[in-house]
Homo-oligomer: A and B are copies of this chain.
């Protein structure tokens, strides 16, 4: 693997990167969306994708080109870039998807890679085995071994400047996915599609998608560009980027348009169910659903495809902007409310906080607490890890209220983080914006922070002054930490004032 990918900016495990594609002599900024161009049906011309939608890279199916005599000849004689009138990067697929759908294809890795090179592909793909979810471990491991052989063979093929994909398989076994990724990364190949995700995506199994991406990422170096292969619905881009995916491909923009389906960042709508367009794009700002309904089939399909592309590229821009501003997880919070399975996906992301923490920037503009799930963010974990290393001595009040001179020190307490010395109050993420109405998870995590601090400092006398935490959170505070409720049973306050406050 060459020096083709550089990360410019991180947020959680999401990143803005630059993928240098030497054969096309272009640099693609990631996260990037690759529209799928069907060699036989061009709903939106590739040249328009480039000029009007900002596409820097597209993907087309090398196997279909190979299998169709006319297409093959013109691809070989003119080259893909002329055939499609597209000056960006062009990735080609190998037919593995056809293999997974139809069970066989009649081409081998060397042959299809040679062909992809010969038609001018910038990023080619060997024939891997896309093992479906939930198969036996034996099948997954056997097919993975074959895939790895193919990758090693591909690394031997003379592909010139063409980059080559190294798909990561392993079905729904995280350890196999991790090993597959490590082995793929160990070859000389360049781009790492997480493969066979389509069945999971079709079934809205977003928690499984998150777990499989997390596993693959553990096996890959930071300089590995990761393609969530077959993922083209904008509702899950932010979640997938936050887990570390860099490339997406969309056939959906065109396939959905053919069926009068309309993409949004919150799901999919049927045109017939729309009375108003829930979108600001040029198509939706200048047409009503009724107008589209009464268009001819070809116009309607094209206009819906254009809307679908606008939403898809718009979400990629929104994600890039969020990474630059350090609020990608806030965007994921919103997207998690598109469907209960997206919430499952986001809750699964919380399980990987430690993995995300490794690349999450130390400082950002602001931390917004936006749901019980915010309590599982990597920043909270990092603060808890730091609590063990903070100097603490004497008698320390940990309080949601004011300082109290009866103690050697008065630290602040802010759910979901827990305690910290007051001079860290303006430091990210402790300068968080939190709602006034906190949920149990915020209190529970704050209590865990108190516990972590107390356990790391067995000789320090801690007292917790809280504003009425639920019993369940207080149960998580170690027994040797005294607790009292501010304004109710202040250990050192004036009892008569307290009586007023609680009247």
Question: A residues touching B (Cβ–Cβ < 8 Å)?
Answer: 52-53, 207, 266, 273-282, 284-286, 310-311, 313-314, 317-318, 320-322, 324-325, 330-331, 333-341, 343-344, 347-348, 368-373, 433-437, 439-441, 472
Contact = CB atoms under 8 A, between A and B. Distances in A.
A327 to B, nearest CB: 9
A344 B278 contact: no
Contacts of A340: 368-370, 433-435
Contacts of A435: 340-341, 343-344, 347
15 contacts: A277-B317, A278-B322, A279-B314, A280-B281, A280-B310, A280-B311, A282-B286, A284-B317, A333-B337, A334-B334, A340-B435, A347-B435, A371-B371, A372-B439, A440-B441
A371 B337 contact: yes
Contact of A437 (B275, B285, B347, B436): B347
B433 A274 contact: no
A289 B368 CA distance: 25
A370 B373 CA distance: 11
A278 B317 contact: yes
Nearest to A9: B275
A152 to B, nearest CB: 38
Given A285-B314, A437-B344, A320 B280 contact: no
A187 B324 CA distance: 54
Nearest to A318: B278
B320 A275 contact: yes
Given A340-B434, A435-B347, A437-B347, A321 B276 contact: yes
Contact of A278 (B284, B321, B333, B372): B321
A113 to B, nearest CB: 35
Given A273-B325, A370-B343, A435-B343, A310 B285 contact: yes
Given A343-B371, A344-B435, A284 B321 contact: no
